[in-house]
Structure 1
Amino acid sequence: MASGGASNGAGAVADVLRDVEAISFDLFDTLVDQDMGRLPLVDWEGRRVPSTALSLHALVAAARPVPADDFLRVMREVDRDLREPRFAQGRELPTLERFQEVVARLGIADEALAHAMTDEHMRWIRSCTTAPAHHAPLLARLAARRALALCSNFSHTGTAVRVVEEMGVRPHLRVVVVSEAVDARKPFPAIFEAVLAGLGVAPERVLHVGDSLRADVVGAARAGMRTAWITRRVKDRAAALAAHEGPPPDVEIADLAELESLLADSAVDAAAVDA
């Protein structure tokens, strides 16, 4: 059930959404579901976690014998030395660059290997991704009345685009912004500014929808956008809210389908009906 973040009630929600002219969507666990539990388990820093590392190691070992432990150690070092600092700065580490650094640190002179690793990694990621059947027709209907955009933290733009193409919604997205392409990650402002520039709509007239309170709600709110928190894939809603620091979501929804009815009474929809 939808609710207003600052004050519950249909009236408050209607006020928030009254002038929304465009909608920006997060990708994973918003437009599409991502089940990383489909990946093989590996030992990673003392924990058993789903990872593509076993398949990636097989590619590396085919080029040069490298013990699995050494490969995992180098992967951890690259993430520590490159990815973590960039994330802290609100920047992205492209998957290809990440694997190029892994290959270089392993002392392997094979330019094609990092590309093969990227392709394999993204093949697995796509295999973990599914789109709820009602999302594509829903976006088609929403796009008939409002400009739609994609705003995703993801390290491989081509795969993000392929996901929305396979979902059948790429034609409905006026703007596609992926963190790899703009070297900016949510919740930092640059990625939202890129979305707003592409849409050409004032931030207070754009609704951003996502599953992360920090990345999506805080980031979009700081950019001046309206925010909708989608909780369908949130494991513990109450715990997430209790731990949240920052502005609350303007609207909370359990499913994207709720957007259509919530927006039906807005000034934008009324104008479209009268036109």
Structure 2
Amino acid sequence: MAGGRKGAQARSDEAVCFDLSDTIIEWEGAYEAALRVTLKEWVGRWSDSEAAAAAIGDAIRRYRRARRAGKRRADAVRDAAAAMPIDGDERTMLFIVRQCRRLQTERAGFVDGAEETMRRLAARYRLAIVTNLPAEDAAAIFSRLRLHRFVPESRLFAAATDGGARKPDPRLFRRIAEKLEVPPQRCVMVGDSFRHDVEGALRAGWKAVWIRRKAGSAPLRRGPSRSLSFVPSRSPNRIRTASSLTALPRLLRTLLAAE
């Protein structure tokens, strides 16, 4: 059971559920770090280390530009590889993408303030994690970062482990509320994706906190899928926004008190 709850009694009638990637862990940053390591392997035998470092730096800049332009990771990797002496055939690109995905899970770490915030909230609320990551990746991250200190493993809900439903399907949120034995109106979803985390939760009767960090800290594709008029017209008291997880303790108190 979660070590962070020792000596404190969490409320059984209020639940706070966290998205995993780019909400409590640096997922996009972990992929970029994995790409840097993978590219280093390709130029590791260069005699000119300065040239190798310059080529990798150029590749990473190309990757970032491609991601900001909304390209998928695999396509952004192709753009990055164009700066390297790499054969860009399909087999090579597939190897690089797979290697980056494997290393990404190993490189993922907490975003600033996540660990301390979860420790504080675990003493007051029933915490859970709701992610669209593959169950194997989610379990590996859960174990490596010792998230059991704050969240029992039984409350790790990954896409493939819950009937195949994925965020933003409201049925997933309703099913999780039932498993947590908490009324939907007492459940809060915390995440950085408006479409997947906020809309899905609101449509299931939950409340939500949308984490909106500074520009450049997360892919632009994570913005809202439609006008924000969706929120005030339907759920004015059921959503808050924050630029950092450290604001959660205060926001959750007011959010859960609102009708």
Bin for the TM-score computed over the shorter chain = 0.5 to 0.7
1:148-196 superposed Cα distances (whole Å, 9 cap, x missing partner): 01000112x1321221332232232141100022211111123213321
**CA distance in 2 between partners of 1:184 and 1:193 (Å):** 11
Q: Which AA in structure 1 matches 2:24? A: L
- What is the TM-score of this pair, normalised by structure 1? 0.57
Residues 167 and 252 of structure 1: is their aligned pair in 2 closer, same or farther, counting only changes over 3 Å? same
Aligned residues: 192
Q: Which AA in structure 2 matches 1:143? A: A
1:209-245 superposed Cα distances (whole Å, 9 cap, x missing partner): 11111111111111110011001266498x9459546
**CA distance in 2 between partners of 1:184 and 1:242 (Å):** 19
**CA distance in 1 between partners of 2:214 and 2:169 (Å):** 23
Residues 171 and 190 of structure 1: is their aligned pair in 2 closer, same or farther, counting only changes over 3 Å? farther
Answer yes or no: is 1:37 the counterpart of 2:55: no
**CA distance in 2 between partners of 1:267 and 1:68 (Å):** 52
User: What RMSD, in angstroms, separates the aligned Cα atoms of the two structures?
Assistant: 3.8
- What is the TM-score of this pair, normalised by structure 2? 0.61
Residues 241 and 72 of structure 1: is their aligned pair in 2 closer, same or farther, counting only changes over 3 Å? same
Q: Is the 8 A contact 1:209 1:216 kept in 2?
A: yes
Among 42, 49, 66, the alignment partner of 2:76 is 49
**CA distance in 2 between partners of 1:250 and 1:129 (Å):** 28
Note the C-alpha offset of 1:132. Answer: 2.8
Residues 267 and 247 of structure 1: is their aligned pair in 2 closer, same or farther, counting only changes over 3 Å? closer
- Partner residue of 1:256? 245
Q: Is the 8 A contact 1:177 1:191 kept in 2?
A: no
Which is bigger in relative contact order (C-alpha 8 A, separation at least 6)? 1
Stretches of structure 1 that go unaligned for 5 or more consecutive residues are: 1-19, 55-66, 76-116, 269-275
Q: Is the 8 A contact 2:194 2:225 kept in 1?
A: no
Stretches of structure 2 that go unaligned for 5 or more consecutive residues are: 1-12, 40-58, 82-86, 232-237
Identity of aligned residues (%): 25
**CA distance in 2 between partners of 1:242 and 1:189 (Å):** 16
Residues 193 and 227 of structure 1: is their aligned pair in 2 closer, same or farther, counting only changes over 3 Å? same
Note the C-alpha offset of 1:48. Answer: 4.8
Q: Is the 8 A contact 1:23 1:209 kept in 2?
A: yes
